[in-house]
Amino acid sequence: MEILETRVDTNSETYRENKRVMEERLEKLRSELKKARDDRSEKAYNRHTSQGKLPVRKRLELLLDRNTPFLEIGPLAAWNMYDKRVHGAGIVGGIGIVEGREVLINANDAMIKGGTIYPMGVKKSLRLQQIAMENRLPSIGLVDSGGAFLPLQSEIFPDAQNGGRIFYNQAWMSKMGIPQITAVMGLCTAGGAYIPAMSDYVVHVKKTGAIFLGGPPLVRAATGEVVTADELGGAQVHCQQSGVSDFMAEDDADAISMIRQIVHRLPRPTKHPLTMQAVKEPLYDPKELYGIVPQKLSTPVDCREIIARIVDGSEFMEFKSMYGSTLVCGWAYIHGYPVGILGNNGILFSESAKKATQFIQLCDRDKIPLVFLQNINGFIIGKQYEADGITKDGHKMVAAVSLAQVPKFTVVTGGSFGAGNYAMCGRAYSPRFLWMWPNSQVSVMGGEQAADVMISVKNDQMVRMGMDPLSAEDAASLKQGIVETSEEESHAYYSSSRLWDDGILDPAQTRDVLGLALSASLNAPIPDVDGSCVFRM
């Protein structure tokens, strides 16, 4: 394979300035992640630990194999939402290694409003379940939750993708043969009682763990019966009388040790075999990405410079390098795994869309996972391009992306706008994982363009009604409002907060994160492609 050559001048002023700006962005990212991890009130900490319970991060540390990576999902979920303190949407979740096996973990953080479930917490749980299902990962729940966050119950309870879906998914996961292990380390109240009830294995911690459909306050209000949480749904009741729980643990650490034993004895399906190569570090330092990523999304960047700092040995076999040049397609290895990469080098034209379609179909047939490096303004527009059938060619690419059955991974390295988001495997196209870089943005179009469109629509409307078009002043004020809203709502933090992505990545970590994700994805078999041959577009 050809080694990618770099044209980056690491001594240039532009490089140094880009690096400075990216380092500032990374400092902010680290500080937001730290806040999400550590910002808990003293009252909540004391209340939690005085009951003999371990903080959620400590539980995780005991659960995971020592010195193994944890691929955290949505650490900034609910960022700046609610009272700005429902960090990670009250849940710590991700893929970790337990007894040498990749598993999916969903752990309530009871130091955030008693571990109650906010609307974004429901969304995060559903996303974690989707990851478990798509990648066939055993699922471990560390439950410690006061159930629905009652003031927002209308956003949590009634709809199809609300709380009930969690238990619905549990039934399907069981049917799919995905083991589910739940440790009851605090309350599992009301709907939350079904989390252990619908699991395959239930470990119940003495004294602190309780499962009930109605807690003591509700029982007292409804029936007049006065009981403690332990009498109502403690470990003794459920391990000895009801049979809801299977194993009784002395404390948190004991429960975690039992979970590890359960995982140890689970049958281990063989992972999907890919033709691997020995791992080689990239020839160029991934940290050089800091100086390569431009400060402004409007400044173009050759995605080969990015690929060269992500793939093994910076080696890349480019497909149709002279055709459809605004989309770079080709094969490489990441941590030894073969991948097909698609990276934007400008707007999508008919040729680039057709090239992508053929490339995606080739990779899908050959069972080579796909990596999309998104930096895209959209498809080309205009009279000539419409007449030439850009929509028809875009359709081919969007259809190929939709139907590809190989694991797909998307990294938004710059802009993710318009139908380009769709064609380059945006969230709606079921990439197994999607991450944003700190400089990236996602929206239908940039704020300036959106404002210009709205002003043009407004002016047409006024002219139709026989009125004067907007004054320069009114147009400027309309524009400012749209640009400001659009800036805020397209930002990577806004996206991560709403779980439109799985997290914001330090660009230099992209290679390692992709390696972990590729490894996890191979727990699920890659199906054979049925149907017709790969067409030369």
| Site of interaction with ligand COA (CB under 6 A) | 47, 113-114, 116, 146-151, 187, 189-190, 215
Say how far apart CA 372 and CA 52 lie, in whole Å. 46
Query: Smallest distance, Å, CB 20 to ligand COA?
Result: 41
The minimum distance between CB 218 and ligand COA, in angstroms, equals 6
Cα distance between residue 81 and residue 204, in whole Å? 33
Q: Which residues contact 452 (CB under 8 A, 6 or more apart)?
A: 479
Q: CA gyration radius for the chain?
A: 25
Q: Smaller CB distance to ligand COA: residue 149 or 435?
A: 149
Distance CA 524, CA 348 (A): 32
Min dist CB 419 to ligand COA, Å, is: 41
Task: Give the nearer residue to ligand COA in terms of CB position, either 189 or 486.
Answer: 189
Encoded amino acid at 230, one letter? D
Report whether 198 contacts 153 (CB < 8 A): no
Can you say how many angstroms the Cα of residue 342 is from the centroid of all Cα atoms in its chain? 19
State which amino acid sits at residue 424.
Answer: M
108 vs 245, which CB is nearer to ligand COA? 108
Q: Which residue, 187 or 380, is less far from ligand COA as judged by CB?
A: 187
Using the minimum distance from each CB to ligand COA, give the nearer residue, 221 or 322: 221
- Name which of 100 and 151 has its Cβ closer to ligand COA: 151
Q: What angle do CA 114, 119, 121 make, to 5 degrees?
A: 55
Least distance from ligand COA to the Cβ atom of residue 429, Å: 35
82 alpha-carbon distance from chain centroid: 20
- Cβ closer to ligand COA: 151 or 525? 151
Closest CA to 164 of 192, 144, 127, 130: 192
Q: How far is the CB of 117 from ligand COA (least distance, A)?
A: 8
CB of 90 to ligand COA, least distance (A): 10
Closest by Cα among 166, 185, 173 to 63: 185
d(Cα 408, Cα 521) in Å, to the nearest integer? 9
Residue 246 beta carbon to ligand COA: minimum distance, rounded to whole angstroms: 23
Q: Where are the alpha helices (DSSP H) in 226-349?
A: 229-233, 235-236, 252-264, 289-292, 303-307
Closest residue to ligand COA: CB criterion: 146
Of 111 and 363, which has the nearer Cβ to ligand COA? 111
Give min distance, CB of 150 to ligand COA, in A. Answer: 4
